[in-house]
Amino acid sequence: MKSLTYCCLIFVCTSAAAASNQGALTIGGAQLSDGVTFCFENELTSTMELVFIKSDTQPGVWRLEGQYVNNAAGTDCQGTSFPLQGVFYPGEPSTTLSFSVAWANAEQSCDASAAWTGYLENNQDGAPKLVTRWVLALPSHEGENFQTGSDVFTLKKASVCQAS
């Protein structure tokens, strides 16, 4: 039986990129509201769509749901959408965020999972970006098998995520 390892990490985001505008939290100029969607793309052209959903049980906490499309050359499970889940907490003076992807959907399974951690900051042009480190857990008969790396995700138009 194949097993899937699950891991979860936490992102620390600077409040400058997720600044408040008259008391309303914004990311890239868009106000954070229940159901709002943001699209990010990394340097390897992988995309993620993050949907923010207010928590019913934890005031100030947002659930993250969405999709991740791996487009990194030379990797498995490319070009299809995989479910993404996480949590976003807009605290002061920093904001925390974590998200993970289990690489399995109705079309394929790569028997692996990944989690990202990092921070949100603004590019030189003021656009938000996520600077992250990731851990990928893979199945192995020889003990732990982890790969690590980093990604920088930049905020994109929703059409970038829809085209993936």
DSSP character at residue 55 = -
pLDDT digits (tens, 9 = 90+) for 62-94: 899 999 999 999 988 899 999 999 988 776 656
What's the length of the chain? 164
**Calpha distance 131→43 (Å, rounded):** 11
In the predicted model, what is the mean pLDDT of residues 18-30?
Answer: 59
pLDDT digits (tens, 9 = 90+) for 101-129: 999 999 999 899 999 987 777 778 878 88
User: How distant, in Å, are the alpha carbons of 51, 77, 153 from that of 59?
Assistant: 17, 36, 27
**Calpha distance 94→99 (Å, rounded):** 17
| CATH of range 11-163; options 3.20.10.10, 1.10.340.30, 2.40.128.30, 2.130.10.10 | 2.40.128.30
Residue type, position 93, single letter: P
Q: Give the domain ranges of the chain.
A: 11-163
pTM, full prediction: 0.80
Per-residue b or e along 37-70, where b marks 16 or more CB atoms closer than 10 Å to that residue's CB: ebbbbbeeebbbbbbbeeeeeeeebbbbebbbbb
